[in-house]
Structures are given as C-alpha cells and as structure tokens.
Chains A and B, each alone.
Chain A
Amino acid sequence: MVYLNAFLFCGLVCAIGQIILDNTNFTPGHITVIFVVVGTFLDVFNIYDKIVLWAGGGALVPITSFGHMLTHGAIEGYNQGGILGLFNGTLNLTSAGISAAIIFSFFFSLVFEPRD
C-alpha cells in the first residue's frame, strides 16, 4: 500500500512542477527553489512528517524533502543547544546529500569527458 502512496505523492509533486514549468516563464532552477521553500514551510507545523509517514520513500525522494530535512535539523538543533544549535544543526541531516553530490561530481568530471 505504501508503494501506491509513494507513487501518487511523488507523481503529484512532479506533475505540479511540470504544470508550473509549462504555463509560466520560470526555468527549472526556479521550480526547484520554489519546491525547496515549500518543503521548509511544510515542516514548520509538522505537516511533512505526516506525509512521510503516509507516503514513505515517495515523500523523501522529491526536492521538498531537502527543505524538510533543513528545517528539521534547525529545530532539532535549537531544542538541543539554543540559538547556537540553530546554526549548528541546520545542515545536519542534508550534509550527506550535498557532500555526495559534490564528491561524486568532482571525481566523475575528472574521469569522464563532456559529451554533447
């Protein structure tokens, strides 16, 4: 059942993005930024946690989960270490994704030739 929910939620997010992309002058960069900010907002009142419980991995794959993890880390850090923890904890959960993207793309760009 969680597979169907994952399919529906992730597909719905992508379809909304495609509708925005087709009907406005926004570039894909604008779309991803909009979705990240929506994700950070949805985590403020714990709405996104409920979506993750409902859709499982389907809610963690879209870029909205990136924003969700940022706010999650910031609030967790604030609970542990006050206002300093807010700065410490913001990148706690997303650091793996950012580091992986930078490391893999650096080494692949050394190994592979660009093709057009």
Chain B
Amino acid sequence: MKDKYQKIVDKYTPKEAVFYNTIIAFIIGGIMGIIGELLIEFYQYYFSVSSKEATVCMLITLIFLSCLFTSLGFFDKWVNFCKCGLIIPITGFAHATQSAALEYRKEGLVTGIGANMLKLSGAVIIYGIIGSFVFSLIRMLVGLV
C-alpha cells in the first residue's frame, strides 16, 4: 500500500529541470557580471572617479534598481525565473531587504519595518562579519599581515 502511494506521489511531483535551471542561472549571472563591469567603466569614464569609488557607485546603482523593481512588483517574477542568477549577485541582498520591508509595513514603522527589515539579509551581514573577524584573526596569528 505504502509503495503504491509513494509511486503515485512520485508520478505527480513536478520534476525540476535541474540542468535548465543551471544554464539559466549561468547566463543571467554572466549578464549581471557584464552589467557590473560596464557600470564601473561608465562611472570611471564620465565622472572620472577612481576605480574604488566607481565600484561603490556600481553597487549603489544595482541596489537602487533592485529595490525599485521589487517595489514595482516585477522583480519577484524575475527571481522565480532566474533563481540564483539574481540571488547570488548583490541584487539578491537588496531584494531580500526590500521585500521584508514591504511585507511588514502594515505592522507599523518601528515594530514592522524597523524590526523586520533585516530579517532575511541580516544573516548575510552577521555571518560576513563573524567570518571576516575569524579569518583575519587567523591571518594575524599566522603572521601574514
């Protein structure tokens, strides 16, 4: 009985096209990389800033666009289609922050937006800081600095 049931379940579970997803993520991620490089060169050329400042401008531009498109409502559909192609770049970080802020907005300014804005993206900040602290301590102890 159980085997039969399992067979029926297997038959009707939607199979995710793993290979197709990977190719989509590769192409979209690659396009994001090219957009980043283009933005850096654009800022360096037209505003004649140093490459470090151009990097910061590029990151802020991508975060701004990602927040705007999430608020307008169609970034979620793009994320559903490209998955990791948009989650791994910095747009995923901004998307997580923005969608949490929008979702908890009706619970009030402090207890809603303030308390829940970094609900999803806070993990990135926390583990990034912990990791960088541990690894730079290791590097200090090894004596590479």
> Chain A residues near B132 (CB, 8 Å)?
40, 43, 67, 70-71, 73-74, 90
Select one of A14, A60, A75 contacting B36, CB under 8 A.
A60
Size of chain B's interface in residues, with CB distance under 8 A? 76
Contact of B131 with A105 in the complex, beta carbons under 8 Å:
no
Shortest A88–chain B CB gap in Å is 12
Q: Are B135 and A71 within 8 A (Cβ)?
A: yes
B25 near A18 (CB under 8 angstroms)? yes
CB contacts under 8 Å to A, within B1-60, are: 16, 18, 21-41, 55-56, 58-60
The total of interchain contacts (Cβ-Cβ below 8 angstroms) comes to 252
For A18, A29, A31, A101, the residue with the greatest tally of chain B CB atoms inside 10 Å of its CB is A101
A window 74-103: CB within 8 A of B: 74-75, 78-79, 86, 90-91, 94, 96-98, 100-102
Instruction: Select from chain B the residue with minimum beta-carbon distance to A114.
Output: B102
Task: Give the secondary structure class of A's interface.
Answer: helix
Kindly identify, within residues 17 to 55 of chain A, every residue whose CB is under 8 Å from any CB belonging to chain B: 17-19, 21-23, 28-29, 31-33, 35-37, 39-41, 43-45, 55
Task: Give the secondary structure class of B's interface.
Answer: helix
Q: A36-B127, A108-B67 are in contact. Are A10 and B89 (CB under 8 A)?
A: yes
Q: Does B78 contact A (CB under 8 A)?
A: no
Given contacts A11-B30, A112-B72, contact A57 B38 (CB under 8 A): yes
In the complex, are the beta carbons of B29 and A109 less than 8 A apart? Answer: no
Which residues of the partner chain B approach A6 to less than 8 Å between Cβ atoms? 30, 33-34, 36-37
Q: Which residues from A are CB-within-8-Å of B21?
A: 18, 22
B97/A105 in contact, CB under 8 A: yes
